[in-house]
Chain A
């Protein structure tokens, strides 16, 4: 049997993550990476669509609290994610499949590592059961 390799979608804020590294160089290390201007731009429907399209997990990387370029876009997204996790559970999608992290990493060096860590957790969960 082929080894289960979870599909992860990563949204990250361009103001806090990886902006000092050329996008294609970073993208080659991160599959399904979607840099956005402010994590506050991430709509709940984007996350749902990722799951509908077959994602096993969604990782959201926003700026540290107090560092949002648009005041509090990151906190707004955090609130959305907390509630969305409860809604997803009812659809049979475990809350751990959406992760939100706040930090600053202009070179994006930690990004592949964060993705791998989340992947490890998803391997323990296995594929999404319902859908």
Chain B
């Protein structure tokens, strides 16, 4: 046991979907468990944090961290595991770019608290009590983590060695990543362990893309019966494929759902949201200003579309400039 590489799997601001994806490795997970010693994995096993605290620096070979950083507890655990680990893998869209939780940055902490603890129709809170980091009860102090006013990506808080995007990442890329660490056959630090091309380059619907695309009406996927083989964009359905990295396995595209962008942008793209916005508008075909506005107004929540997984890395959305991975 002593010589097996130690691995920690930990959730920060995550939904457990990423943990579930690791469980979904099925038989392969048994092989993984054979070759490594799992020292922390709250979803699957019972561990005590003080055991991690007692470990030596870099004693853990790999920490797989899922989720964004939204509160002081996430930050503390991220820092602790960074200190105790040789390698840190940002696992899943939330850890890499903030994920869907990052859309909360469109609201302030105050907006969120007011809604969740006061204004939402299902809330009963007659004394309008909000969570406090410290509460005194019978002479004892109860504490809660501090809810930050911003959702951070993992690399805005700690140094990250590798990235594996996806919501959640697909089994083949997870297995590759773990094998790469176990065998020591690692790409340069900072690499994203996924293909470099854009989704459109590998999408089977690309062949059916007309050479000159024109969008005269924007449609939402649930409003139409989309052709199962044609390019979504050519059908006027917003698909993030042109601005998204490939490697997801195209589960969405195969089930007739357009790409939402959970793999983040392809390498070298700075500002994927605005790039996509420009590309989309260039396809819009309309004569008068009114017609242009009408088409654009029919896009519900465009910011939510273009930044669905990446708001905290965006030009306007990020809070600690200069430290992020490529956008």
| A interface residues, Cβ below 8 angstroms from B | 43-45, 47-49, 51-52, 76, 78-80, 82-84, 86-93, 130-131
| B interface residues, Cβ below 8 angstroms from A | 106, 108, 270-271, 273-275, 277-278, 280-282, 284, 289, 292-293, 296-297, 299, 301-304, 306, 314-317, 321
With A52-B316, A91-B106 known as contacts, the answer to whether A82 contacts B296 (CB < 8 A) is yes
Cβ contact within 8 Å between A90 and B282: no
How many CB-defined contacts (below 8 Å) exist between A and B? Answer: 73
Taken together as a complex, chains A and B put the C-alpha atoms of A29 and B289 apart, in Å, by 31
Chain B residue nearest to A51 (CB atoms) is: B316
Question: A90 contacts which chain B residues (CB < 8 A)?
Answer: 106, 301-304
Cβ contact within 8 Å between B316 and A91: yes
Cβ contact within 8 Å between A43 and B278: yes
Taken together as a complex, chains A and B put the C-alpha atoms of A70 and B234 apart, in Å, by 25
Q: Give the shortest distance, in Å, between B64 (CB) and chain A (any CB).
A: 32
Q: Is the contact region of chain A dominated by helix, strand, or loop, or is it mixed?
A: helix
Taken together as a complex, chains A and B put the C-alpha atoms of A115 and B304 apart, in Å, by 32
Q: Is the contact region of chain B dominated by helix, strand, or loop, or is it mixed?
A: helix
Q: Apart from A83-B280, A83-B281, what are 9 other A-B pairs with CB-CB below 8 Å?
A: A45-B315, A49-B315, A78-B292, A79-B284, A79-B296, A82-B281, A83-B299, A84-B274, A86-B302
Chain A residue nearest to B285 (CB atoms) is: A79
Question: A93 contacts which chain B residues (CB < 8 A)?
Answer: 316
Cβ contact within 8 Å between A79 and B292: yes
Question: B316 contacts which chain A residues (CB < 8 A)?
Answer: 48, 51-52, 88, 91, 93, 131
Give the 6 A-B residue pairs with the shortest CB-CB distance, closest first.
Answer: A90-B303, A44-B274, A45-B271, A79-B281, A48-B315, A45-B274
Taken together as a complex, chains A and B put the C-alpha atoms of A127 and B304 apart, in Å, by 24
Taken together as a complex, chains A and B put the C-alpha atoms of A86 and B277 apart, in Å, by 11
Question: B277 contacts which chain A residues (CB < 8 A)?
Answer: 44, 80, 83-84, 87
From A80, A88, A93, A131, residue with most partner B Cβ within 10 Å = A80
Cβ contact within 8 Å between B302 and A83: yes
